[in-house]
Amino acid sequence: MSYNLIKKSFDLGDGRIIEIESGKLAKQADGSVVVKMGNTMLLATVVSSKTAKEGVDFLPLSVDYQEKYAATGRIPGGFLRREARLSDYEVLISRLVDRALRPMFPEDYHADTQVMISLISADTNILPDCLAGLAASAALSVSDIPFNGPISEVRVAKIDGQLVINPYLSDLTRASLDFIVAGSENDITMVEGEANEISEEEMIEAIEFAHRAIKVQVQAQKEMTVEAGKTEKRAYSHEHSNPELRERVFAETYEKVYAVAKSGVSKHERSDKFSEIQDAFIVSLGEGVDDITKSLAKKYFHDVQYDAVRNLILDEGIRLDGRDVRTVRPIWSEVGYLPAAHGSAVFTRGETQALTSVTLGTKLDEQMIDGAFFNGYQKFILHYNFPGFSTGEVRPNRGAGRREIGHGNLAQRSLKKMMPADEENPYTVRVVSDILESNGSSSMATVCAATLALMDAGVKLKSPVSGIAMGLITDEKTGKYAVLSDILGDEDHLGDMDFKVTGTDKGIVACQMDLKINGLRWEVLSAALAQSKEGRLHILNEIKKTLAEPNPELKPHAPRIEVLRIDKEFIGAVIGPGGKIIQEMQRETNTTITIEEKDNQGVISIFAPGKDAIDKAVKRIKSIVAKPDVGEIYEGKVKSIMPFGAFVEIMPGKDGLLHISEIDWKRYESMDGIFQVGDEVRVKLLEVDKQGKLKLSRKALLPRPPREDKKPASE
């Protein structure tokens, strides 16, 4: 069978090759490609409806990334043994691709569009997330779907002081920064990642380095578009238009909207006033107006809001709540708000509020990750919840959506860099952030609230972390721009950029940037980063006013953990046959005990609600793993009696022979009547022979009787 096979390949600059192939698989999709690097292969397909649904005024785009377990030679867990709903990791990659693609579609394109990316083969040392955006864009490039691309995504990391594109997984443990960067030939559209308290200059250097690699990948896709014969895209007409109506809407509502935007009223009052202006205009159209005209009037009114708010900021430097572009909204915070939690905090910034709790658990509470590519356990977990009431809406609670997973991940990666090492923090830590009010950047409020809650719990953070969301308003005609600190929800919606930056007083630890425009100049990005540092440090100082460093002790009701390290040879003795000994200890001491082999040692974690229970368990374990010392005195228990002496247990599982000659200074002819099994006897360890047998003495602890003088024979 013949294929219209198209292949492109390019070098990452160090001899590693990425290949793109189209025309062999999934040919009934509008576009499909296979991207390969090493043994990692992604199949990306895209399908878009030929028509748009009536009344839809947005792009219904869905992006799904899924890992096939067969790609890594694994069988899924669970009862069904098949791939199920997307994991958090798969959702996060789907979001990365969605955020890079969505701004590149024409604004008036409203057809249902689905992008599906599947990991079909995996090289365990080559991460697939940095290839997913390239695969999706390449599939669009060989289709006739309208798309203002191509784009690509790459990972940029600094390893041992050198910037690397798409590094191996094994090298990432040494990375001081790790970003996924998306962009077109001319512009950066998305950045997300984490770092070890880097400077703003170092971040810009990494993004510029990534963009050079993106340009190479974009050029390869352009060549594929030509070879596939898809330079002409499909015709479409998804929007009605009425220029006369648009002019009328602007003429009759712009000044009113501008005045409301300038009034500085609260979010809900402003929304109500905008609705009143819109409703009044709709009424002015008359009773016989058709639904299409009403829909167009609402669309044009949104355009009025867009222009009025942006012009107010660019021309007068005034924002919707009356602030200037640099001012951060008022902040108040409180720790210990939840008396029964192990740690808690409330953080409020303007009309955004997060209530956050910390729970300390055992190793048994670690989160199990069962993915095709990643599987294992993690002991720091952060969950973010965004209920409808936080924005005054009625919305059913259907569990965590993609937004909640993405915001929670940003907060988690911001804080995990500052979590203490395992040796200092043996707990599994779960942070839950519930957003109670939202008007801009609830994910950054989560970072701040979580910092306070962790310090309230006594978790020894290396440094407190704060975060801020930056916005951008630009005018392409005049070149004017305004960078906004601590953006509102409306400024996010109507602006050109949402740039979240988190960090300590030493530098940046995580970021997430989404651009909605083409042509972000590097000087604008530099200005945004400089302004974000100013705002971030201001918020950090406000946090420190509430709690500057971790509490020295855990809460009185917080559980305690004691960690012991023992010789590897004693692991079996502590566990016992079939787990008998460790289960008995847990039951009798009211503790939870886990044991694992690490660094050629046994690491035992003892978890209990109070210190007394831990002390009992520690004593039991130490008695099991202790090595008998010659010369030491022990309180033993008679385990068995023989004609030549008694076997006495001086430690759990360690018996020694108390020979009949070592019981007393006087001579015994037999063992009859001397001891009973179970008798307690105090003995001294005299010797451990080459076979490890213990020789005990009771006689050595008794005073020696005086010697009787013998009379001379003559007497």
Residues of each annotated binding site for Mg(2+): 492, 498
Q: Please check whether residue 214 is in contact with residue 181, taking contact to mean a CB–CB distance below 8 angstroms.
A: yes
Cβ contact 457:554 at 8 Å: yes
Residues 6+ apart with CB under 8 A from 545: none
Tokens of 16: 């590693």
- Paired tokens of 123: 């090289």
Cα distances (Å, whole numbers) of residue 571 to 219, 566, 596, 600:
59, 8, 8, 11
CA–CA separation, 179 and 195 (whole Å): 8
Contact 500, 468 (CB under 8 A): yes
Helix or strand (DSSP H, E) at 267: helix 267-284
Q: Which two tokens stand for residue 298?
A: 């609402």
Long-range residue pairs from 584-587, CB within 8 A, at least 24 positions apart, any chain? 585/617, 585/620, 585/621, 586/617
Q: In whole angstroms, what is the distance from residue 354 CA to residue 231 CA?
A: 49
Which of 368, 370, 462, 378 lies closest to 428, judged by CA? 378
Residue whose structure tokens are 């830590």: 429
Q: How far apart are CA 695 and CA 34, in angstroms?
A: 73
CB 244 within 8 A of CB 163: no
Omega within 30 of 0 (cis) for the link into 559: no
108: tokens are: 């008036």
How far apart (Å, rounded) are the C-alpha atoms in residues 622 and 570? Answer: 10
450 within 8 A of 382, measured Cβ to Cβ: yes
Phi, psi of 86 (to 5 degrees): -65, 140
For the chain, counts of helices (H) and of strands (E): 13, 29
Q: With contact defined as beta carbons under 8 Å apart, do 680 and 636 qualify? A: yes
Residue 499 in contact with residue 493, Cβ under 8 Å?
no
CA 139, 141, 146, 147 torsion-angle sign: positive
Per the annotation, binding residues are: 492, 498
d(CA 345, CA 336): 6
